[in-house]
Amino acid sequence: MADPLHNEFPPESIEAKDLRHVLHPTTNLADHQLRGPSVHERAEGVYLWDNRGKQYLEGMAGLWCTALGYGEPELARVAEAQMRQLAYSQLFGGKTNEPSVLLAEKLKAMMPFDAGRVFFGLSGSDANDTQVKLMWYYHNLIGKPEKKKIVSRLGAYHGVTVASGSLTGLPPFHKHFDLPIPNVLHTANPHYYRQAREGETEDDFTTRLANELEALIRAEGPETVAAFIAEPVLGAGGVIVPPDGYYRKIQAVLGKYGVHFIDDEVICGFGRTGNPFGAQTMGIAPTTMSVAKALSSAYLPISAVLVPEWMYEAFVAASSEVGNFAHGFTYSGHPVCSAVALRALELMEEREVFAHAARVGETFQARLAALAEHPLVGNARGKGLIGAVELVADKDEKRSFDTALQVGNHCMDRALEHGLIVRSLGDILALCPPLVITDTQVDELFTKLERALDETLAYVQREG
């Protein structure tokens, strides 16, 4: 592919080498070839610097993940010590290692439901892929091979592997990838601002969505539906906070038809929403849970799936017939990743990070709510230390901008100019700073975002 800007970077620069060698995930590749990469060079606390020395406040915790911020020496110390003692060990064939066992014990003790066993992976995607396989495996073992369908939601994000990418309810993750696979269904997005009908109250809206879910289950046949999967607060789909009462009504439907609840806490877990887990914030009673991202504060890749003991007992009972539980990864329970994750959770406790995040989250939500008065902002929403502003062309009519204007991207770029990293999800700007952010830094974040919004307003006014 011809690259008109290759000559703008010295041939041996990191930027030029990136353009020659790297296939970037979740990136507009044509735009990337024109603009080139932004090179992150170092980071400390809630700040990050590029290779030109410019400082940024990290308003997205990387990808919703660096809960403890950057440059934590204690995590570096633990990683080095574990690498020197036992750099790798597998869990296949009954082998084990101390860090993975202690991490599993720690996770079970933290859970807001009766978790029995912990399965380790490397990412949120493989965790949710595992969730699908375990639901299928379990129902085969208990003599219900027809009970296989998983219900997700439009606008949800659960990963990009074949199964988890199918659960994801965002069109770009399906188009041209031949997804979703069979046995994955999608029900309505609980986005009251966008999806409510005229005159529909939040209570009416949540009742309708519960009724639609019940109609879907009945149409498919309750005997064929195994589970419903949900993020407590939808993340990459636009930071959608379901209205009060939504999950209570949804769970009443699930209970009526014997459908399990898979709680995807990859973004919401470990203090993000003002409680240790999003399930506690949103009133969810999970059957199983997926965690990743903040589990190690993203210092090393690790994920976990937690299942109830009764599910594990079915796996054990079947082993005399089927032999191995034939699922797992080379790096499941990796000792270095596990040691770092265990120490990250200990630091959260020792430093009372959850309580800090809940308190600072009040400042964050107050500043976020105030942005609703800005002429560009149709809706400001969030929980704890996660939030978003949705940019609109007409606040009264909730009319969106022409996508060709790329208003959200323009605002994201203006924020970068002011030294703030946010994420554009179309014309929605997402915010998810490290949990260790201070009140002063929250004010810095929103002051910079307000400047970006004002400059974006001037841009759209120029464009008519």
Q: Which residue has the tokens 């988890």?
A: 164
DSSP string, 73-97: HHHHHHHHHHHHH-S----GGG---
Band (2; pLDDT cuts 50, 70, 90)? very low
C-alpha–C-alpha distance, residues 323 and 319, integer Å: 5
The reply to whether 339 and 308 lie within a common domain is yes
Query: Is 1 contained in some domain?
Result: no
Cα separations (Å) of 262 from 185, 291, 330?
Answer: 14, 11, 24
Question: What's residue 337's pLDDT?
Answer: 98
Of 307, 298, 190, which Cα lies nearest the Cα of 245?
190
Of 303, 326, 350, the residue at which a domain comes to its end is: 350
The reply to whether 362 and 235 lie within a common domain is no
Query: Is 242 contained in some domain?
Result: yes
Token representation of residue 222: 């309750």
Query: Is 87 contained in some domain?
Result: yes
Of 424, 423, 419, 444, which Cα lies nearest the Cα of 432?
423
The reply to whether 81 and 171 lie within a common domain is yes
Band (464; pLDDT cuts 50, 70, 90)? confident
The reply to whether 170 and 93 lie within a common domain is yes
Token representation of residue 182: 């069979």
Query: Is 25 contained in some domain?
Result: no
At 164 the three-state DSSP class reads: helix
Query: Is 20 contained in some domain?
Result: no
Structural domain harbouring 216: 74-350
| pLDDT single digits (tens) 300-341 | 999 999 999 999 999 999 998 999 999 999 999 999 999 999
Of 350, 379, 401, the residue at which a domain comes to its end is: 350
H or E element that contains 242: none
**CATH number of the CATH domain containing 392:** 3.90.1150.10
Question: Do the Cβ atoms of 60 and 54 come closer than 8 Å?
Answer: no
- Residue 130 φ then ψ, to 5°: -60, -40
| pLDDT single digits (tens) 376-404 | 999 999 999 999 999 999 999 999 999 98
The reply to whether 300 and 340 lie within a common domain is yes
Query: Is 237 contained in some domain?
Result: yes
Query: Is 5 contained in some domain?
Result: no
Q: Which residue has the tokens 């089927």?
A: 322
The reply to whether 264 and 118 lie within a common domain is yes
C-alpha–C-alpha distance, residues 406 and 88, integer Å: 46
Total domain count, the chain? 2
The reply to whether 340 and 360 lie within a common domain is no
Own/partner contacts of 217-221, CB < 8 Å, gap of 24 or more, are 217/151, 217/253, 217/257, 217/259, 218/257, 220/149, 220/185, 221/146
| pLDDT single digits (tens) 32-80 | 999 999 999 999 999 999 999 999 999 999 999 999 999 999 999 999 9
Of 304, 334, 350, the residue at which a domain comes to its end is: 350
The reply to whether 88 and 53 lie within a common domain is no
Name residues whose C-beta falls within 8 Å of residue 140's C-beta, 6 or more positions apart in sequence: none
3-state SS of the chain: helix, strand, coil percent to 5? 45, 15, 40
The reply to whether 276 and 389 lie within a common domain is no
Q: Which residues of 421-442 are buried (b: 16+ CB within 10 A; e: fewer)?
A: bbbbbebbbbbbbbbbbeeebb
| pLDDT single digits (tens) 218-234 | 999 999 999 999 999 99
Token representation of residue 72: 């934590």
User: Which one-letter amino acid corresponds to residue 154?
Assistant: L
